[in-house]
Amino acid sequence: MFDDITRINEIKRRVRKLKHFELNLRFNKIKPPGKYLVWDKFFDLHSTNRNHAKYSLNHLLSISQEEYKTIINEYLSYVYYEHYQEKGISSIQSVYSPTLLSNLGLPFDANEHDIKKRFRELANKYHPDKGGDAKMFIELMETYKKLLGR
């Protein structure tokens, strides 16, 4: 029982440090009204996941150290992407919207080669001349254009 409480407190402490990191990076410690934290979309430190965050405390308790590292890397990619957008430096070639990557079924750390490969797969699937959905094809084209600026 004592080890469980210690583990819960350790995870809460680590995840709260991530929240403070984001606040410092994006807002210089104080979140302005009307802005959101990526942290709120990712983590809920209540056992019931009341906020419908991507990862609840129970989920974080049930995963391995490697899975935890992957979650943290994913979270940080979203935080840095938001930071770059807010600072007007979103034109960096290797920084892609994690949300758009996710829409294509790609991981947050996908590169240009991965994007092009996935685009070709989905273009074949959704192309109207091949019996695909025209609306999905148009959405795919728009997403591709947003990601690679083409």
From first to last of the 150 residues of the chain, give the pLDDT tens digit.
558 889 899 999 999 999 999 999 999 988 889 899 999 999 998 877 677 889 999 999 999 999 999 999 999 999 988 988 888 775 555 678 888 888 898 888 888 899 999 999 999 999 999 888 889 999 999 999 888 875
Domain assignment present for residue 93? The answer is no
Residue reference for tokens 């979140």: 31
Residues 64 and 127 placed together within one structural domain of the fold = no
pLDDT of residue 26: 92
Among residues 25, 117, 128, 113, the alpha carbon closest in space to that of 77 is found at 25
Whether residue 127 lies inside any domain: the answer is yes
Return the pLDDT at 94. Answer: 62
For 67, the domain range is 2-87
31-40: pLDDT as tens digits? 889 899 999 9
How many folded domains does the chain comprise?
Answer: 2
Report the alpha-carbon distance of residue 93 to residue 53 in Å, rounded.
29
Residue 107 lies in a domain: yes
pLDDT of residue 97: 84
pLDDT of residue 84: 85
Residue 19 belongs to a domain: yes
Helix then strand count (H, E) for the chain reads 7, 2
- At residue 86, the pLDDT reads 86
Three-state SS letters, the chain: CHHHHHHHHHHHHHHHHHHHHHHHHHHCCCCCCCCCCHHHHHEECCCCCCCCCCEEHHHHHHCCHHHHHHHHHHHHHHHHHHHHHHHCCCCCCCCCCHHHHHHCCCCCCCCHHHHHHHHHHHHHHHCHHHCCCHHHHHHHHHHHHHHHCC
Q: Which pLDDT score is estimated for 52? A: 83
The neighbour count for residue 108, using CB atoms within 10 Å, is 18
pTM above 0.75, yes or no: no
- Residue 92 inside a domain? The answer is no
Verify that 71 and 107 share a domain, yes or no: no
User: 123 with 56, same domain?
Assistant: no
Residues 102 and 135 in one domain: yes
